[in-house]
Structure 1
Amino acid sequence: MSVWDEMYADEAYVYGTEPNAFLAQYAALLAGPVLSVAEGEGRNAVYLATQGLDVLGVDQSETGLAKARRLAAARGVRIRTEAADLAAYAPPPATFGSLVSIYAHMPSQIRKRLHHAAESALRPGGIVLLEAYRHEQLGRGTGGPDDPDMFMALADLEREFPHCDILLSREIERDVTEGVFHTGMACVVQLIARKRSEG
């Protein structure tokens, strides 16, 4: 059993059942089908489904995805799920209308490969929406990884989506209260981008 399977094994939803606030604020920009990476227990995918979007939630933890499907059923919607190792995940090209990445922290080399694959999976005009902890979050104790290599920076992210035009790009401090592991003021990076037609 993986660390994530163990974390999600409890009946409680460790990151809560409500969507990420940044995602909810800009969800109207998204078009389906939506690829949501590191979806975990489903709070974001389920929210997007309640907004009428077709969503595929991908995560390495089948335990988390089972909870995602239960949450969807409880909310009266359906989502698609796929258990996959994000270090090797290869979504089909030119398939998705949007990519959602909410606190999808992983080693930088894996992240770069995944972002390249995910950008290729977007249709022209597709939207990238991402929020993550940035390096200044290390040691704050309000969420995020312990490994500095897993944090994100705007300059890196903009390079990792080279075929996209940036619509919103900022590093801010905001209150992130999402379950027991995201609790309090936090340093985050937020990115919204659109894939160019020639990309």
Structure 2
Amino acid sequence: PKQPVYLWTLPMFHANGWSFPWGMAAVGGTNICLRKFDAATIYGAIRKHGVTHMCGAPVVLNMLANAPDGASLSHPVQILTAGAPPPAAVLFRTEALGFVVSHGYGLTETAGLVVSCAWKPQWNRFPATERAKLKARQGVRLAGMAEVDVVDPDSGVSVKRDGSSLGEIVLRGGCIMLGYLKDPAATSKSMKNGWFYTGDVGVIHPDG
């Protein structure tokens, strides 16, 4: 099969930078690096090098979707985004250009992405607003993550699987940090009973 061509729109010292250089080496892929960052440069690199994969925050998707020189791609480009979910309008425009957007969640303490949205083909029939909501849901674990849960931060009990009961996202797995450097108090606060308490708020959907 054709090996991936990854376009670096993230700095390599970022948490994602810890994993993608090794991942690309593992699959024999090609890294395309940029000295400057703007929509024209990205589109030019995609056309010149046949880029197949890239990452970008929602603000990058917005930049690509609204670029005056943006044109439909000659081939699909997988783009992973994280942080705040992209607005439905931005998602629709980006995908109309030929980008295949997926959404993930991770932290520096987890060496980058640890859960993602596994897209189901039948969801393609839904309107853009509904697709945007589904893409914003992440929960499929990556190889290094053993368990994911959303719990009451005081009791540690899992929240109801109703998509509305709020709790703290907790993680357990081989890619979790050992602790904060020279900060035992912060380490003790975030690491409890083998779980890493992220400080982030989440819900669990009935089908999660």
TM-score normalised by L of structure 1:
0.38
Q: Which has the larger radius of gyration?
A: 2
Which fold has the larger relative contact order, with Cα–Cα distance below 8 Å and residues 6 or more apart in sequence? 1
Q: Which has the higher strand share?
A: 1
